[in-house]
A and B are shown apart, each in its own frame.
Chain A
Amino acid sequence: QVQLVQSGAEVKKPGASVKVSCKASGYTFNNYYMHWVRQAPGQGLEWLGIIDPSGGTTSYAQKFQGRVTMTRDMSTSTVYMQLSSLTSEDTAVYYCARSPGYFDLWGRGTLVTVSS
């Protein structure tokens, strides 16, 4: 079955970091770029960045430069998104999405709550 399975919800304190995983199955992992998108409560979709699973090359939205790191593990077909120096503004659902251009397959999302 073609799917992206994300890790579970996280609660973090301000200033902490979070690492969210996204495990791909049912297709050739390194054939598609993977993007990360987030959605704050009641808000729209915001692009964080992209990783090329085949070479590990990344590109991040300027807004998150220096705070976000995307990595991959070829052995488990998993991509990771780590966001550091969290504030309440980072409370959101974080999605991974497979991309042959458009986003044709999405994970279910991981809720990250930042609260003291």
Chain B
Amino acid sequence: EIVMTQSPATLSVSPGERATLSCRASQSVSSDLAWYQQKPGQAPRLLIYGASTRATGIPARFIGSGSGTEFILTISSLQSEDFAVYYCQQYRNWPLYTFGQGTKLEIK
């Protein structure tokens, strides 16, 4: 099983500033890495797949980068609607597509 580790667990950032979220895989997942956003009471929403490709309708301020075992999700100029929990997921190891434990992005 590939273990995904996200850091930090909680990130406090002011609106308008940049947020940087990290995700590390216990072994290489190449670029088979996705990011999801989840708001309270809602299902997760796909933001990024292929480590850096934005899903349909996702604003350009969401930027994914990395490959192998180290990945970053950058959210530039945070909007109020961006405060949520973010999960990374590897889909390299079929079919056990493991998730990170999540990073809660909160308003500073």
- Residue numbers of A with Cβ under 8 A of B are 33, 35, 37, 44-47, 49-50, 59, 61, 95, 99, 101-104, 106-109
Q: How far is the CA of A60 from the CA of B49 in the complex (A)?
A: 23
Interface residues of B in 64-108 (CB under 8 A from A): 87, 89, 91, 95-102
Given A95-B43, A108-B43; A102-B89 close (CB under 8 Å)? yes
Interface residues on B, range: 20 to 34
Partner of A109, one of B43, B97, B102: B43
- Residue numbers of B with Cβ under 8 A of A are 32, 34, 36, 42-46, 49-50, 55, 87, 89, 91, 95-102
Tally the A-B contacts, defined by beta carbons under 8 Å: 52
Q: How far is the CA of A37 from the CA of B99 in the complex (A)?
A: 10
Partner of B96, one of A61, A99, A103, A106: A61
Given A101-B32, A104-B49; A50-B43 close (CB under 8 Å)? no
